[in-house]
Every structure is written in structure tokens, then in C-alpha cells.
Amino acid sequence: MKLGFNFLLWTTHVAEQHLPILDAIKATGYDGVEIPVFSGEETHFAWLRTQIENAGLQCTAAGAMPSGGNPLSPDPVLREKALDHLKWAVDCCAALGAELFAGPFFQPLGEFTGQGPTEDEKSRCVEVHKAAAQYAGRAGVKLSVEPLNRFECYFLNTAAAAAELVRRVDEPAYGYLYDTFHFNIEENSLTDAVARTIGQINHVHISENNRGIPGAGHIDFAAVFRALRTAGYDGWMTVEAFGSALPDLSAATRIWRPLFEGPEAVYRGAYALMRQGWDAAA
């Protein structure tokens, strides 16, 4: 098991001014970082790979589906644009040295139809994601699709739906991301979701019920760690927390009030929670 920290606490595009954070994350004890891949060129991510490796860290990456493409759309042009975006993200991940690209890349966020996903939408998503997973596999990158709560999307909300999608895509480079924040809303039991779908989970996000400091809210992380260890999970556990430093991201994640004194409190507190909690769950 490896411990990571997502850079979305600070930025959607990691640049030179953010490099001291890498050393702070390493000094805390983390194994790696999760890099936002929302924009940029492969050359930038190749440069960033060198900085991450020089800091003694590994990495994963995270992103989303922009409004210019949609895997669910009946319009083949929009589906093709969605596939092109995923291929671009995979290429950036390969340049970055990221072993995995995670996120809700099944639809543009904030778009709703007034009903749940149709069978036609599921079939279209499977077609696009299967092609993307095959492309990713050839590049040595895994895809981890992330279910979100019902207030952020309509297509993929639960562990059962995510596991079904993974089974239908049926590619070794494709799994789903188990996120404690979203499943705290959608699942009756965080631990049962692990036991039922561990065969499809290939990434984990540790996030508190209010998206602040993990361990400061009401999520029973000790039970989550026990469930993951019992199920044999041995991948990344990556912290995802949000603050008010980025106005656009704060608006998207509905962070209207301060949740912590500073980022140091988040990454230090989260590391202690995960390291001690994982060891105690043995």
C-alpha cells in the first residue's frame, strides 16, 4: 500500500512555484503525489516528472471530462472528442510517469438529464472507455473511473454501478476509484462497498465528509482501513481535500467556509491518520 496526496489542494496545474510542496510532502512521509491533468503539454509533464523523481516521490494523476466531449452522447462527434481527451490525458500521464489516471471522465460534470443513466448511455460509455483503456494499457497507464455523488453527476454514483461498468469494459488497465467522501453520501455502508466490489477497485481516495482534514469529521476511517486490508487491497490511498485557495475549484466543490487553518494541517494530519490506521488494521 502506498500513500499519496492530491495537488488539487493548491492548484489545477502544477508549476515551478509549487515545487517546494513536493519536498514537504516527501518529508512528511508520503510515497507520492497525485497531479492534476486538466491542461498542458506533454513536455510540461515530462519536466514535472523529473522534479517529482528528484524529490524521491512517485505519482498518479487525476482529471475530468471537459464539456467539449461526452462519452454518453448519441452524437458520435462528441464521443470521439471524449476519446481524444482521454488519449491526451494518457499521453500526459505517460510523460509524467504516472501509473494511473483517475477521475469522473464519464460525463461533463454538472450536466443532468432529469433521470438516471439509460442503457444506451451505458453502452456508449463502455465503447468509449474500452477504447481508452486499450490505449492506456499500451502506454503502461491504468484508468480509474470515479463515481461521484448524485449532486455532482447522474451517470455513475454507486459502487455497484461502478463495478458493473468495470466488468462491462473488461480491460486489465481499467478499474474504479473508491472515494470515501462520495460513498459516505451514496452507500449504506462504506465497508460493505469495499467487500462487494474489491475486484474492480484499483484506486482509493481518502476524503473527509466535509472534504477538509481526514480524521476531523465523522467518517469511520478505521473501519475503512480494516475493510481494505481484509479485502487484500495493496494500491494507492491518496488524500483528496479542498480549500478556498482556488475560487473556481471552491465554487465547483461548494467550499464556502474555511475547513482548516492551512494545508500543512491537512497533509500532516492525513498522513498520521492513514499510517497509524493502516498499521492498526493489520
Give the pLDDT of residue 212: 85
Dihedral in degrees, nearest 10, Cα atoms 21, 252, 89, 120? 150
The Cβ-side half-sphere exposure at 155, using a 13 Å CA radius, reads 24
Beta-carbon contacts of 183 under 8 Å, excluding residues fewer than 6 positions away, are 147, 158, 159, 190, 193
Q: Of 90-99, 102-111, 238-247, which range is least confident?
A: 238-247
240 near 232, Cβ under 8 Å? Answer: no
- Rounded Cα gap, residues 160 and 263, in angstroms: 34
Query: Which residues is 201 bridged to in the sheet?
Result: 176
Residue-wise pLDDT for 167-198, tens only, equals: 999 999 999 999 999 999 999 999 999 999 99
Give the pLDDT of residue 4: 98
User: Where does the chain have alpha helices with state H?
Assistant: 19-28, 42-54, 76-96, 119-139, 159-169, 180-186, 190-197, 221-231, 247-253, 263-280
Give the pLDDT of residue 251: 60
What percent of the chain shows pLDDT beyond 70?
A: 94
Beta-carbon contacts of 214 under 8 Å, excluding residues fewer than 6 positions away, are 180, 206, 207, 208, 221, 239, 241, 266, 269, 270, 273, 274
Cα angle 207, 172, 148; round to 5: 30
Q: Phi and psi dihedrals of 100, rounded to 5?
A: -155, 140
Give the pLDDT of residue 242: 80
Residue-wise pLDDT for 11-70, tens only, equals: 999 999 999 999 999 999 999 999 999 999 999 999 999 999 999 999 999 999 999 999
- Rounded Cα gap, residues 209 and 137, in angstroms: 33
Query: Which residues is 238 bridged to in the sheet?
Result: 4, 205
Q: Which residue has the cell 514535472?
A: 48
Q: Phi and psi dihedrals of 243, rounded to 5?
A: -125, -155
Q: Does residue 246 register a pLDDT over 90?
A: no
Give the pLDDT of residue 263: 87
Average pLDDT, the chain: 94
User: Which of the four pLDDT bands, split at 50, 70 and 90, describes residue 249?
Assistant: low
Residue-wise pLDDT for 270-281, tens only, equals: 999 999 999 999
**Third-level CATH fold of 2-280:** TIM Barrel (3.20.20)
Query: Domains of the chain: which residue ranges?
Result: 2-280
Q: What is the pTM of this model?
A: 0.95
- Rounded Cα gap, residues 182 and 101, in angstroms: 18
Continuous segment of H or E residues that includes residue 204:
strand 201-206
Give the pLDDT of residue 110: 87
- Rounded Cα gap, residues 5 and 127, in angstroms: 31
Give the pLDDT of residue 244: 57
